Amino acid sequence: MSSAVDHHDDHHGPVTLKDGFGKWIMRWISTTNHKDLGTLYLWFAFIMFFVGGAMALVIRAELFEPGMQFVQPEFFNQMTAMHALVMIFGAVMPAFVGLANWMIPMMIGCSDLALPRVNNWGFWILPFAFTILLSTLFVPGGAPAAGWTMYPPLSLQTSNAFPMLIFSVHLMGISSITGAINVVVTILNMRAPGMTLLKMPLFVWTWLITAYLLIATMPVLAGAVTMLLTDKYFGTSFFSASGGGDPVMFQHIFWFFGHPEVYILILPAFGIVSTIIPTFARKTLFGYDSMVYATASIAFLSFIVWAHHMFTAGMPVAAELFFMFSTMLIAVPTGVKVFNWVATMWRGSMTFETPMLFSVAFVFLFTIGGFSGLMLAIAPVDFQYHDTYFVVAHFHYVLVPGAVFAIMGGVYYWLPKWTGVMYNESLGKLHFWLTAIFVNVTFFPMHFSGLAGMPRRIPDYAVQFADFNLWSSVGAFGFGFAQLIFLYIVIQSCLKKGEAATSRVWEGAHGLEWTVPSPAPYHTFEEPPVISDAEVTAVHDDPIKA
């Protein structure tokens, strides 16, 4: 089997606190090690998860009952916009990049990402970007309040925060593109000999495809917001009807970025779940090849469905039909994936440790979000659902019990490999059950309030929506406080409190990352490992072909 090269870090290992606080800080600022940067990305995402979560709780506190309770309407609008920006660009995306940093080199048998210094730069842009974005809460006029979609002409009414918003979005985009380039170059050029593309773990595959999506779409977002900037300050009229421009054009451009962005937020989650389920079902992943092709199909389709976000903005019937059917087509490869996960579990020797619980919940609850997405894809029906809480329910089902559950499952799955100790399984399960229950209490009633006509992004509502909103608010606070358990578990593991983890950690785990000791040495695979097919393909050989 492969031999992990375990440098005992006595000559160029990580600086610890024992070496002095200044040196320790400089280690994190100047590090080019993929494991260090993975840790930084994950902690950054975790902090942003709580910042964005606090904003969500402001929203839910205000919506706890009809009438205005706690905040001014302007501040409510700022919270909805900032919650989305922080969660999408600050929490979910950096969390996936953190997981990619930690795991991709260990999964494909290389020593680091291809461009270590670019990796450092890509991370350290983010704290500046979000300092700028969050500091808009304190400038005259307050933070951006026109939604994360930044539609003009509304967004052009943003006061002093506007250039700060545009600059921070640019910085986030640069960070994403550098991270994506690093991932693509690493996967294409640095796989260990024998690690052919169709032997790569699904997490690596989904990240490769995600990285291409990022490279293709982030410049579009950058272009769109640059045009907003020039419209506001330099006299152009890209989106101003009075100057010959077209505000609806912004929506087309934004969603040409925005819909692939949705898949950027979910494809790595598919990869994580595809890695965890075979381990705890103790079977090979059903239909590995079809998983890869399905992921590629979803990525391709994501470029030709964007206008389903704007059916009500007005477009020719032929265009509505095209975008309706192309959107529905996405259900096919997504269905392939869901059936493959179920088939992997079928007759498996399943156990339900915390990562598996999150993964099973992912399959179940993400599929609910997928189905409500199909409902929204039906153009005539969307005219009723558009901009209601039904949409909020839909995208939170795919992003919270979808993307966030996969991230949490991935953290529990790989945490013993990162820290060298097992987390507290009882606390992990408690965290899971509280999270899974409260996420449904929060978001399921939104389907009903939305179908009944409650508009999104409004701080007050009619009394007939009161009961649904009360449940959603109770659920949101329960969900929020349950995450403190997660924080406690992660901190305990980082402090090395727990039983020592073995190299393989999980009985059914296969892949190169499990052949190195736990915790993973600071440097791994400086000499390429020898690929053993029994190890590498054990998780994904198609049982039908075998």
Partner 1 sequence: MSNRPTRKNVITALALAGVAVGFYVAFFIVMS
Catalytic annotation, pick one of 60, 191, 232, 337: 337
- Give the nearest distance from C-beta 259 to partner 1 in angstroms: 16
528 prior amide bond cis, ω within 30: no
Catalytic annotation, pick one of 2, 31, 176, 372: 176
Rounded to whole angstroms, the Cα distance separating 327 from 231 reads 32
- Give the nearest distance from C-beta 284 to partner 1 in angstroms: 32
Q: For residue 247, what are its two tokens? A: 């505000």
Report yes or no: 412 and 485 within 8 Å, Cβ to Cβ.
Answer: no
Residue 309 interacting with partner 1 (CB under 8 A): no
Neighbours of 530 (CB within 10 A): 13
Rounded to whole angstroms, the Cα distance separating 364 from 356 reads 12
> Is 261 marked active-site?
yes
Q: Which residues of 28-66 are buried (b: 16+ CB within 10 A; e: fewer)?
A: beebebbbbbbbbbbbbbbebbebbbebbbbbbbbbbee
Which region among 19-27, 62-70, 177-185, 495-503 touches partner 1 (by CB under 8 A)? 177-185
**Which CB atom, from 467 or from 526, has the smaller least distance to partner 1?**
526
> Is 473 marked active-site?
no
Q: For residue 159, what are its two tokens? A: 């006061």
Which region among 213-221, 425-433, 455-463, 511-519 touches partner 1 (by CB under 8 A)? 213-221
Mask: binding to partner 1, 508-537, rule CB under 8 A, as x and -?
Answer: ---------------x--x-----------
**Which CB atom, from 308 or from 523, has the smaller least distance to partner 1?**
523
Neighbours of 393 (CB within 10 A): 25
> H or E segment at 428?
helix 425-451
> Is 337 marked active-site?
yes
What secondary structure, in 3-state letters, does 299-348 show?
HHHHHHCHHHHHHHHCCCHHHHHHHHHHHHHCHHHHHHHHHHHHHHHCCC
> Is 112 marked active-site?
yes
Catalytic annotation, pick one of 151, 207, 263, 385: 263
Among 14, 147, 223, 480, binds partner 1 (CB under 8 A): 223
Among 137, 185, 313, 452, binds partner 1 (CB under 8 A): 185
Of residues 189 through 208, those in contact with partner 1 by CB under 8 A are: 189-190
**Which CB atom, from 189 or from 426, has the smaller least distance to partner 1?**
189
Give the residue carrying structure tokens 């009633």.
445
Mask: binding to partner 1, 136-175, rule CB under 8 A, as x and -?
Answer: ----------------------------------------
R_g (Cα) of the chain, nearest Å: 23
> Is 176 marked active-site?
yes
**Which CB atom, from 73 or from 219, has the smaller least distance to partner 1?**
219
Rounded to whole angstroms, the Cα distance separating 125 from 225 reads 18
> Is 34 marked active-site?
no
Residue 181 interacting with partner 1 (CB under 8 A): yes
**Phi, psi for residue 455 in degrees, rounded to 5:** -75, 150
Mask: binding to partner 1, 243-282, rule CB under 8 A, as x and -?
Answer: ----------x-----------------------------
Which of 101, 86, 105 is closest to 45 using CA atoms? 86
Which of 359, 357, 366 is closest to 331 using CA atoms? 366
- The CB-based long-range contact list for 131-136 (8 Å cut-off, 24+ gap) reads 132/164, 132/167, 132/168, 132/171, 133/82, 133/85, 133/86, 133/90, 133/164, 133/165, 133/168, 134/51, 134/82, 134/86, 135/164, 136/160, 136/161, 136/164, 136/165
Residue 216 interacting with partner 1 (CB under 8 A): yes
- Give the nearest distance from C-beta 10 to partner 1 in angstroms: 15
> Is 523 marked active-site?
no
Which region among 88-96, 211-219, 343-351, 435-443 touches partner 1 (by CB under 8 A)? 211-219
**Which CB atom, from 181 or from 307, has the smaller least distance to partner 1?**
181
Which region among 195-203, 215-223, 380-388, 412-420 touches partner 1 (by CB under 8 A)? 215-223
Among 51, 71, 215, 378, binds partner 1 (CB under 8 A): 215
Among 50, 51, 64, 111, binds partner 1 (CB under 8 A): 111
Report yes or no: 283 and 344 within 8 Å, Cβ to Cβ.
Answer: yes
**Which CB atom, from 223 or from 455, has the smaller least distance to partner 1?**
223
Rounded to whole angstroms, the Cα distance separating 21 from 498 reads 26
- Give the nearest distance from C-beta 112 to partner 1 in angstroms: 6
Task: Give how far Cα 348 sits from Cα of 271, 279, 345, 351, 399, Å.
Answer: 19, 10, 5, 9, 28
**Which CB atom, from 213 or from 403, has the smaller least distance to partner 1?**
213
How is residue 33 annotated by DSSP? Answer: -
**Which CB atom, from 149 or from 290, has the smaller least distance to partner 1?**
149
> Is 532 marked active-site?
no
Q: For residue 202, what are its two tokens? A: 């699904």
Which region among 112-120, 357-365, 408-416, 437-445 touches partner 1 (by CB under 8 A)? 112-120
**Which CB atom, from 208 or from 357, has the smaller least distance to partner 1?**
208
Q: For residue 475, what are its two tokens? A: 């659920």
Residues that bind partner 1 (CB under 8 A): 12, 32, 111-112, 114-118, 177, 180-182, 184-185, 188-190, 215-216, 218-220, 222-223, 226-227, 238, 253, 523, 526
- Would you please indicate which residues are annotated as catalytic (active-site) residues? 83, 112, 148, 175-176, 259, 261, 263, 274, 308-309, 334, 337, 456
